[in-house]
C-alpha cells in the first residue's frame, strides 16, 4: 500500500530541522551572503544538535539517518539558506565513501569526528574533469607502505576549512575509470588549498582548489581496493543526488512563500497582484512543480533506503528539481518586479543560490544523459 505521509519520527525531524533553520540560519542568512564568511557559529550549533554527519551510523557516533530523512532535513535547512545548508551537509557527503567502502578502523577513526564538528571535503572534480569522472588526472603511486599523491582538484566545497579529505585519484593512469582509487587524507599531511573561489551564489559555502604535491598517504587509508574509486563515486551519487534535489525544493519553497506573501500585499489596478491571473497562475505553477520535485526526491531516496536501484530515479529528481528551482526563483523575482532585482528583498539571493543546483553533483545535461542511457539498457 502506498503511503505518502511522514512517520511521527520523521515529522519530529522535520519540525526540529525547520525550527533550527528558522532560529539559527534564517536571521543571519543575509549577513553570510553579503560578508561571505564561513558559518562557524552555526556549524557548532549544528554539531551540538546532531545535524552534522547525519548519515553516519550510530555505531560511529552519528544518528544514522536514512536517505529519506536526509531529504527532509535538507529541504528545511535550504529553505533558510542553501549556502549554509551546503556547508553543514558536506560532512554527510564526505562520510558517504567511508560508509560505503571503509574498513572498521577507518570508520571509527574518521566518521566520529565528522559528526562532532571536524569538517570534511569530497574531492573529485578537476580543472579538466567535472562530469567526466573517468577523466581525472590526479594520480597516486604505491611506494612500500604508502602512496604518493599528486594532482589538483577544483570547486571543492569546504576545501578552505576541511581537515579530512576524501580524494579520488588514478592508481592506474592507463585504465580510465577502472584505474581510479579513493583515499582518506588529513590536511596536516601536506594538503594545500587555494583562496575561496568567488561565486554567484551560496556565499556561506566555501569552495576552493585543493593541491596535492607529493603528499604521502598511508596505504591503510586506501578505501576498499585499488580500482574501486569509480564504483564508490557512482554509489555516492545515488545517495547525494536525491539529497541535493531536496535542497533545491527547499530553495524553491522559500521563493514561493516570499512571492505569495508579496503578491497578497502589492497593489496594482486597485487590487492585490495575487488576484491577477498572470501572477496567480505563476504562483500555481510554482506550487505544482515544487510538489512534483519533492515527490521525485523522496521516491529516489525511498528506493535506495529499501535496497533498490535508484540511479535513474536519482537522475530524475536531480534534473527536475534543479531546473525547477531555477525557474521558480526566476519567477519569484518576476512577481516582485523591480524590487525582485534589489538586494533588499530575499528573492534575488534565492535566484543566485538556485543556479548551482543545475551544475554540481552532475549537470542537468548529465542527468539527462544518465536517464537516456538507463532507458536503453532496459
Predicted confidence (pLDDT) at residue 3 exceeds the cutoff of 90: no
Q: What is the 3-state secondary structure (H, E, C) of 108-134?
A: HHHHHHHHHCCCEEEECCECCECCCHH
Is 138:147 a contact under the CB 8 Å cutoff?
no
Predicted confidence (pLDDT) at residue 96 exceeds the cutoff of 90: yes
Residue 195 DSSP code: P
Q: What per-residue confidence (pLDDT) applies to 130? A: 83
Predicted confidence (pLDDT) at residue 1 exceeds the cutoff of 80: no
Q: What per-residue confidence (pLDDT) applies to 378? A: 79
Predicted confidence (pLDDT) at residue 263 exceeds the cutoff of 90: yes
Rounded to whole angstroms, the Cα distance separating 149 from 138 reads 7
Closest listed residue to residue 72, CA positions, set 12, 3, 25: 12
From 125-139, 157-171, 275-289, 357-371, the region with the lowest mean pLDDT: 125-139
Q: What per-residue confidence (pLDDT) applies to 2? A: 80
Task: Tell me the pTM.
Answer: 0.97
Rounded to whole angstroms, the Cα distance separating 74 from 220 reads 33
Tell me the mean pLDDT in the region 291-311.
98
Query: Of 126, 141, 361, 374, which one is the catalytic site residue?
Result: 361
* Domains and their CATH numbers in the chain: 8-116 (1.10.540.10), 120-229 (2.40.110.10), 230-377 (1.20.140.10)
Query: What is the chain's mean pLDDT, rounded?
Result: 97
Predicted confidence (pLDDT) at residue 11 exceeds the cutoff of 70: yes
Closest listed residue to residue 124, CA positions, set 223, 52, 205: 223
Rounded to whole angstroms, the Cα distance separating 355 from 252 reads 11
Residues 162-189 have pLDDT tens digits of 999 999 999 999 998 999 999 999 999 9
Q: What per-residue confidence (pLDDT) applies to 35? A: 96
Whether 361 is catalytic is: yes
178: which residues sit within 8 A by CB, 6+ positions away?
172, 227, 230
Amino acid at each position: 500500500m502506498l503511503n505518502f505521509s511522514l512517520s511521527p519520527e520523521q515529522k519530529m525531524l522535520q519540525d526540529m530541522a525547520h525550527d533550527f533553520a528558522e532560529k539559527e540560519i534564517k536571521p543571519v542568512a543575509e549577513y553570510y551572503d553579503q560578508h561571505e564568511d564561513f558559518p562557524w557559529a552555526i556549524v557548532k550549533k549544528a554539531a551540538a544538535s546532531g545535524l552534522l554527519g547525519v548519515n553516519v551510523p550510530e555505531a560511529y557516533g552519528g544518528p544514522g539517518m536514512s536517505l529519506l530523512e536526509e531529504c527532509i532535513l535538507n529541504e528545511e535547512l535550504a529553505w533558510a539558506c542553501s549556502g549554509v545548508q551546503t556547508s553543514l551537509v558536506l560532512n554527510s557527503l564526505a562520510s558517504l565513501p567511508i560508509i560505503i567502502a571503509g574498513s572498521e578502523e577507518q570508520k571509527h577513526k574518521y566518521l566520529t569526528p565528522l559528526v562532532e564538528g571536524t569538517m570534511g571535503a569530497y574531492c573529485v572534480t578537476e580543472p579538466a574533469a567535472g562530469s567526466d569522472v573517468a577523466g581525472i588526472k590526479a594520480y597516486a603511486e604505491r611506494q612500500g607502505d604508502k602512496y604518493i599523491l599528486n594532482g589538483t582538484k577544483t570547486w571543492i566545497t569546504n576545501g578552505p576549512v576541511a581537515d579530512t579529505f576524501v580524494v579520488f585519484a588514478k592508481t592506474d593512469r592507463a585504465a580510465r575509470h577502472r584505474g581510479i582509487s579513493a583515499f582518506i587524507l588529513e590536511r596536516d599531511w601536506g594538503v594545500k588549498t587555494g583562496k575561496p573561489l568567488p561565486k554567484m551564489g551560496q556565499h556561506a559555502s566555501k569552495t576552493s582548489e585543493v593541491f596535492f604535491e607529493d603528499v604521502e598517504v598511508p596505504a591503510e587509508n586506501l578505501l576498499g581496493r585499488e580500482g574501486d574509486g569509480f564504483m564508490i563515486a557512482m554509489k555516492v551519487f545515488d545517495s547525494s543526488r536525491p539529497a541535493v534535489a531536496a535542497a533545491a525544493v527547499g530553495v524553491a519553497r522559500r521563493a514561493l512563500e516570499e512571492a505569495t506573501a508579496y503578491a497578497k500585499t502589492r497593489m496594482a489596478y486597485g487590487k492585490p497582484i495575487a488576484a491577477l491571473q498572470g501572477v496567480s497562475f505563476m504562483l500555481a505553477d510554482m506550487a505544482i512543480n515544487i510538489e512534483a520535485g519533492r515527490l521525485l526526491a523522496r521516491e529516489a531516496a525511498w528506493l535506495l533506503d529499501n535496497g533498490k536501484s535508484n540511479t535513474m530515479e536519482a537522475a530524475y529528481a536531480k534534473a527536475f528539481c534543479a531546473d525547477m528551482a531555477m525557474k521558480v526563483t526566476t519567477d519569484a523575482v518576476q512577481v516582485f518586479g523591480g524590487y525582485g532585482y534589489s538586494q533588499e528583498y530575499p528573492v534575488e539571493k534565492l535566484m543566485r543560490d538556485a543556479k548551482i543546483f543545475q551544475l554540481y553533483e552532475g549537470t542537468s545535461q548529465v542527468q539527462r544523459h544518465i536517464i537516456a542511457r538507463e532507458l536503453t539498457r532496459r
